[in-house]
């Protein structure tokens, strides 16, 4: 429980299948970028998987290593599964691919007002809508995921800035 400082006013949840490669990478990149933008304290940022295969495990070591080379820290992240309550807590629930987007759409309660979509929809100039799973490939796949996460994070931060300005600069204080 946070006793001092602003409370989160917007929540962002990144989702892939197992929550050990793509979504923790997106979380780490976005968290770092939000901190640099000075809005991390008013955002709830997390990641989860649609499947429970890796509950409580850290991200894949290759994800951690690739992220560290770019000064992103994923070491505190632990895998968890998406739960129905996420749809009431997070404003943006962003899937890494169409498969996980369909899973999220089937889980979304009717009363949820969360935006459920693809993460890379916030980076339309990339020409990619999905972040490919690097798990069965080599190191270049993890670098590619980082490239995509950086582009998506930039677009998402801009969308959040616009949303906050439309709310009258709400800061959570």
Which residue numbers are catalytic? 16, 22, 133
Q: Where are the alpha helices (DSSP H) in 70-138?
A: 86-89, 98-107
């Amino acid at each position: 429980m946070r006793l001092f400082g602003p409370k989160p006013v917007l929540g962002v949840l990144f989702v892939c299948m197992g929550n050990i490669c793509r979504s923790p990478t997106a979380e780490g990149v976005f968290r770092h970028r939000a901190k640099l933008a000075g809005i991390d304290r008013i955002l709830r940022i997390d990641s989860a998987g649609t499947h429970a295969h890796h509950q409580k495990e850290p991200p894949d070591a290759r994800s951690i290593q690739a992220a560290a080379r770019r000064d992103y820290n994923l070491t505190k992240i632990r895998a968890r599964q998406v739960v129905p309550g996420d749809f009431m807590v997070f404003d943006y629930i962003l899937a890494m691919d169409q498969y996980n987007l369909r899973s999220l759409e089937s889980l979304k309660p009717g009363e949820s007002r969360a935006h459920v979509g693809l993460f890379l929809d916030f980076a339309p100039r990339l020409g990619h809508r999905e972040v490919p799973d690097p798990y069965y490939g080599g190191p270049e796949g993890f670098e590619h995921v980082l490239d995509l996460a950086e582009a998506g994070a930039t677009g998402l931060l801009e969308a959040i800035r616009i949303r906050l300005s439309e709310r009258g600069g709400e800061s959570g204080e």
